Structure 1
Amino acid sequence: MVSISLCMIVKDEEKTIARCLDSINSVIDEIIIVDTGSTDKTKEIASNYTEKIYDFEWKDDFSVARNFSFSKSTKDYILWMDADEIINLENKNKLIKLKENLNSEIDCISFQTYVSVDESNNPKCICRRNRLVKREKNFKWVGFIHEYIKVDGSICDSDVYIIHNKIKNNENRNLDIYKSNIAKGNQFTDRDLYYYGKELYCNKMWEECIKTLEEFIKRDPFIEEKVDALCKIGRAYINKGQSCIGREYLYKTFEYDEPRGEIIFSIADSFEKERKYKQAIVWYEIILGLELPNDCNQCVNVCCLRFTPHLNLCICYYEINDIAKSYYHHLKCKDMNPLNECVIKNDEFFKSIIKKVD
């Protein structure tokens, strides 16, 4: 059976680090904690699990810190996690089996990450990332932000998934790092520019987002990134109140790949925002006819593929006075996530209507 080092970089994670380590502690053989400047009880809590805690001066570069954490490991394989991530019992058991049966010829194993979950613990967004790597291969992290492990070797996709359960909001941390690099005159790689544009989008800086991602598209990137960039530009225009221009960018994605549920959702949502409910209904219904992806090598917003279309169809059908279909889609939502606040309110509303009819 192989041995595993858990390597983490942390800062001010007193609210989450015990939860994370409790969830994984019994599976791994070594814990490496690299602290980048905590002022709370993070290190004190971590000391209950390991003596291998190292201070590291933060350099606005996640890869540098992660590579330092990897350098301190001593076991066969290295697993990385963030402090706001956990592994539940089901997946802990999967990881134990993986550890017991892992072919040592495999250099890297990817896990799925549930980037966020809903009130009923269903995944809202899923992606796959390289999580477990062979230490002797000395794989390195690349990128000062939105970093990734550059792997050159045999990779195996596992069915293990880790749940990202954020408590702390880092607000403008990522954007500040990008701005700092711009101020220093550092040149952005294509990947840096792409993620900078996405960060601008997340911070609702629509004009800068559009300008940055337009520049990125001119660099003729991979189709996957081009499609996502076009989608973000389209959404930025829609959020600016320019839905017609926004939809043109969304339609353009169809030239590069088959229509994707998330992009169709953006089109539907734009019509709904304009109160063009019949058009919105057509697009939302198309989404429900698409098959769900079997795996998620790229981040997929699962919520946009099933739950939210049903929720929005409930609203759209009500607006055109088709109460039966509105109620049908409400029941679909209730079946998927009965604890959702909107579902609870809608349920109360429909019950009041039924009482009036009775």
Structure 2
Amino acid sequence: MQRAMNRTIALAMIVRNEAARLADCLNSVKGQVDEIVIVDTGSTDHTVDVARQYTDKVMFYAWDNDFAAARNFALEQTNSAWILSLDADEQLDVRGGDLRDLAGQKEKEAFCLPLQTGEVDDNCQYDRFMVLRFFRNTYRFRGAIHEQIIVGDVAALGFAANPVIRHAAIPARERRMRRGRNIALLQKAINKEPDNPFLIYYYGVDWLGLGRLEKATACFERVLGCLTDEHTLFRAPALRYLIDCYKLQGELDKAICLCMDESMRYGEYSDLFFEGGVLFELKGEYQMAVKWFNEALRHDEPPAVFHHTKGTESYLSLHHLGCCLEQLGAFKQARECYLRALAANKRYIHPLHQLIHMDLSRQSAASVWEDLWKGGYLTDSLSAASAAESFWEAGLPDLAYACLIQAGADVSAALIKYGVYSGRQGEALASLEQLRSRTPVLSVALAVDEIVALLMAENLKQAKARAWDLWKRPAGRNAAWAMLHVTHMLEKGSLGGIPEPHRQKEVTEVLITVLENCWHSRVEDSQLQASLTDIMTQIMRILLLQPQPTLLLTACLQDKADRLRQQIRYNFESARGVWV
């Protein structure tokens, strides 16, 4: 009985205006805690109502700009042996391990748990930080801001691989407000403890989050100079943040020197070698980048105490390695890297674009599509959508459409666009009606695609009606103006008017977008192709009537010519035997 008592767990939280997120957090700890204590520090929304659906221990604390004091007040209301501390924008993932297993380790007083931030869905891409959030109910928080639990005995502190805390994204405006609040509180704390490296570290993190790179750089340079390997939990992320600061300020050489120096200290830190590889890649020094990415691939995921970006030891380095090898003309090796990256994580779909691009330069488009199907890339909606976009960019909308159909994709804007420009007018218009039954107001881009489909089918009356419907929406008036005048040109052979000066640029951009979509088309039906050619002709006539549209069109054509030259050069090099 005594052993069971020693493993009781309380979730202790402080919250304010978290009604939208609190339920997800509390649902995530079901079955993991015996007690929930929630302290509200001044909510003006329905946070308290949500909290009371999960616990009767909802308390109130008058906010005094002291996070430790508020959290410690919450701890005093608990009766359990262990404390789990979470914020409302976090969720506990226990699929890999249980809190009670940790609580049963008698020699440990506290545990750091992995905190994952970023794109954590489906194990795609995220950053991992270790945070001390699970501890015996004898410890108390210290620090008015970025409060911490301090464990004096290093042997009593454990690092657990599971369970995992997943941090949910919050709106940018709210993030900025939090950082502004934190900076004000941190400045007061630093005034009292000017040499506290942990306060300076958090000060740098918040300045970096606000984009104040000079201030963040000064903080991280100072922190890196005074923290030792006993504080790797803070020193490793400070190192990577400082590399980011240098990189974002264009000081690539300074960042590279830092990577070289620190690689002597952390010789098995895959993230550090990945960072170095990216820096050399940005400088165009691909041979050096290859060496650093290969070094990153030699190492496993770093120990838990290190800040880690998932994939630096595998698919991220493989992807970048492939890009560098491609730049060096080693196409076969580059392709192998892309395949290995996709095999390591099929949810990381970025290498798929390069793979398709390479394969289209050496074999038929139909063969490339079939290889993707055989490789299983068209059974998953995410990879199928990426493959579809690649085929679209290559001017193969029919194969883009086939990718989504093969994956069993639901009706979407992309499916309709690919259908329109591959000559599947009937299917596209039917899909539009199906979508309209669920979403009465289509996006402006989708409404334009519908009008193009009707024009290709020579249904000018219906196209004009849809354009007028679009005109009724303030956000759609520029697109409506553009499509009404395309319709008028097709019907009357003359321009119905010139857009007002304040909307001319936006109207021109709509017309150029439609023109570019038409250039991506591949239509077998001769009548539809004739209609499409007529649409492009009339758009060109409209664009050439005024100086500003003509200049924008010229820039668009120049960009398209440059991309075409690059593609021809790429294909020609491969055809001459560079593919070895």
Instruction: Determine which of 154, 160, 165 is the counterpart of 1:163.
Output: 165
Instruction: Determine which of 339, 345, 353 is the counterpart of 2:347.
Output: 339
Check the 8 A contact 1:112/1:160 in 2, yes or no: yes
Q: Who is 1:251 aligned against?
A: 260
Instruction: Determine which of 99, 105, 108 is the counterpart of 1:95.
Output: 99
SS in 1 for 2:95: helix
Check the 8 A contact 2:98/2:163 in 1, yes or no: no
Q: TM-score, normalised by structure 2?
A: 0.55
Larger radius of gyration: 2
CA deviation string 1:295-350 (max 9, x = no partner)? 40232223333222112122222222222222212122222332335245345435
Q: Who is 1:129 aligned against?
A: 131
Instruction: Determine which of 307, 311, 314 is the counterpart of 2:315.
Output: 307
Instruction: Determine which of 260, 265, 281 is the counterpart of 1:272.
Output: 281
Asked whether 1:321 is paired with 2:325, we answer: no
* Unaligned ranges ≥5, structure 2: 368-580
Q: How large is the RMSD of aligned CA atoms in angstroms? A: 2.9
Q: TM-score, normalised by structure 1?
A: 0.85
SS in 2 for 1:79: strand
Distance 2:255 2:158 in 1: 39
Identify if the C-alpha distance between structure 1 residues 65 and 311 changes in structure 2 by more than 3 Å, giving closer, same or farther: farther
Higher relative contact order (CA 8 A, sep 6+): 1
Structure 1 segment 185-196 matched on structure 2, within 5 A: 185-188=191-194, 189-196=196-203
Instruction: Determine which of 35, 40, 61 is the counterpart of 2:45.
Output: 40
Q: Who is 2:468 aligned against?
A: none
Asked whether 1:84 is paired with 2:89, we answer: yes
Identify if the C-alpha distance between structure 1 residues 80 and 229 changes in structure 2 by more than 3 Å, giving closer, same or farther: closer
Which region of structure 1 is more displaced relative to structure 2, 165-174 or 103-112? 103-112
Instruction: Determine which of 49, 53, 59 is the counterpart of 1:54.
Output: 59
Higher strand proportion = 1
CA deviation string 1:192-219 (max 9, x = no partner)? 112212332343322212223334455x
One-letter code of the match for 1:161? P
CA deviation string 1:135-178 (max 9, x = no partner)? 2x2x1112333332112463444442223131314422234322
The Cα of 1:354 is off from its aligned counterpart by 5.5
The Cα of 1:9 is off from its aligned counterpart by 1.8
Q: Who is 1:210 aligned against?
A: 217
One-letter code of the match for 1:194? Y
One-letter code of the match for 1:111? L
The Cα of 1:250 is off from its aligned counterpart by 2.5
Identify if the C-alpha distance between structure 1 residues 230 and 55 changes in structure 2 by more than 3 Å, giving closer, same or farther: same
Check the 8 A contact 1:31/1:50 in 2, yes or no: yes
Check the 8 A contact 2:270/2:312 in 1, yes or no: yes
Identify if the C-alpha distance between structure 1 residues 351 and 337 changes in structure 2 by more than 3 Å, giving closer, same or farther: same
Q: Who is 2:295 aligned against?
A: 286
CA deviation string 1:253-296 (max 9, x = no partner)? 24544363222222211111122222211211111012322x40
Distance 2:271 2:124 in 1: 17
Q: Who is 1:222 aligned against?
A: 228
CA deviation string 1:97-131 (max 9, x = no partner)? 555xx256643244333344544225632233333
Q: Who is 2:270 aligned against?
A: 261
Higher helix proportion = 2
Distance 2:129 2:34 in 1: 26
What fraction of aligned residue pairs are identical, expressed as a percent? 21
Aligned length: 351
Q: Who is 1:349 aligned against?
A: 357
Q: Who is 1:147 aligned against?
A: 147
Distance 2:361 2:45 in 1: 52
Q: Who is 2:454 aligned against?
A: none
Which region of structure 1 is more displaced relative to structure 2, 76-85 or 281-290? 76-85
* Unaligned ranges ≥5, structure 1: none
Check the 8 A contact 1:125/1:303 in 2, yes or no: no
Distance 2:291 2:161 in 1: 35
Check the 8 A contact 2:335/2:355 in 1, yes or no: no
Check the 8 A contact 2:319/2:337 in 1, yes or no: yes
Distance 2:114 2:188 in 1: 35
Distance 2:114 2:312 in 1: 18
SS in 2 for 1:171: helix
The Cα of 1:229 is off from its aligned counterpart by 4.2
Identify if the C-alpha distance between structure 1 residues 267 and 160 changes in structure 2 by more than 3 Å, giving closer, same or farther: closer
CA deviation string 1:36-67 (max 9, x = no partner)? 33333322222110111122233443322222
One-letter code of the match for 1:56? Y
SS in 2 for 1:305: coil
